[in-house]
Structure 1
Amino acid sequence: MAWTHRYGSSRIFYSSLGDPADFRNPAFLRLLVNAIHWSLDRPLPADVKFPVTLGGQPAAKVGVGEFEKLATHKKFTVLDVRTAREFASGHLKRAIHLDATAPDFAKRVAELDRAVPYAVHCQSGKRSAAAVATMRELGFELLYDLEGGFAAWQKAGRPVEK
């Protein structure tokens, strides 16, 4: 629980420990961060990121090392949500391409098997977060999103196919 108020010219922020589940709720986290910044009389930085969640399940953001383990596991499907041009310039082995910016993205994703775990990535992590959110809305649960995207993969020197 958290709340704020003004006392004279001061801004006061109160909080108490709550249920740990609250901290998995993006709306609660957003409220908490906004309240802290309000009480400090500081603007909220533009780069504050909250976990992508729908249905109470956070999207698992994973680093390059963990993503590589998932991408090479036979039960996982690698889903590259970059543009066709980006995909053609280089992609992960076994990657399936579905452009997250395509108008029919949701329709095409809906055709995928919801029981399969997906390792999802884009170039930097923004489009894949949106793709994961769409997939969650469609009932997908086993989703892992590459932190930093394909750029992080390349920077780490991981293998790329053309």
Structure 2
Amino acid sequence: MNFILDNWYLIFLAVASGALLLVPTLKGGMAGGVTAAEAVQLINREKAVLIDVCEPQEYAAGHVKGARNVPLAQLQERLPQVAKNKAVPVIMVCAKGARSVRAAAVARALGYEKAQSLSGGLAAWRAASLPVEKA
């Protein structure tokens, strides 16, 4: 108990730094994801494939131009049909970034080593003034 009272500032510092590490997660972006600008570079330079893991009605309301819709629940079955070349980068997109992180993990488990999620999702894509289309 004396340690806690004598070193309260160290405990506060540890808790504060831990909270700062959680901020990107709470905002929807995750470590290991790509920004909208990085995604554009991957598309242009390495012919990256965009996979929107939203539900069909969300996809129809608006999605990244050129993205293919494969709902997260169907990803394991349908990803090999949509992205045949496992050496090409695959960028997972969802509304805010949380589902796409799970989708990228599923894709990596299927052998897509260059699978990544779009940090911030469609919201970040729109914020960067990049093209969005409706189905």
Using the size of structure 2 for normalisation, the TM-score is 0.72
Counterpart for residue 2 of structure 2: 9
Shift in Å at residue 69 of structure 1?
2.3
Checking the alignment, whether the CA contact within 8 Å between 2:46 and 2:89 is kept in structure 1 is no
Does the C-alpha gap of structure 1 residues 139 and 153 become closer, same or farther in structure 2, counting only changes over 3 Å? same
Does the C-alpha gap of structure 1 residues 62 and 132 become closer, same or farther in structure 2, counting only changes over 3 Å? same
Q: Counterpart of 1:120 in 2: which secondary structure?
A: strand
The structure with higher relative contact order (CA 8 Å, sep 6+) is 2
Structure 2 unaligned residues grouped into runs of 5+: 5-9, 26-30
Does the C-alpha gap of structure 1 residues 161 and 110 become closer, same or farther in structure 2, counting only changes over 3 Å? same
Checking the alignment, whether the CA contact within 8 Å between 1:117 and 1:143 is kept in structure 2 is yes
The count of residues paired between Structure 1 and Structure 2 equals: 119
Counterpart for residue 130 of structure 2: 158
Runs of 4+ in 1 over 6 A off after TM superposition: none
Between the two proteins, what is the percent identity of the paired residues? 33
Taking the aligned partners of 1:156 and 1:117, their CA distance within structure 2 comes to 21
**Higher Rg of the two aligned structures:** 1
Greater per-residue strand proportion: 1
Greater per-residue helix proportion: 2
Aligned counterpart for 1:105 among listed residues 75, 80, 87: 75
Alignment of 1:6-155 (within 5 A): 9-10=2-3, 40=11, 42=15, 45=19, 48=22, 60-73=32-45, 75-100=47-72, 102=73, 104-111=74-81, 112-113=83-84, 114-155=86-127
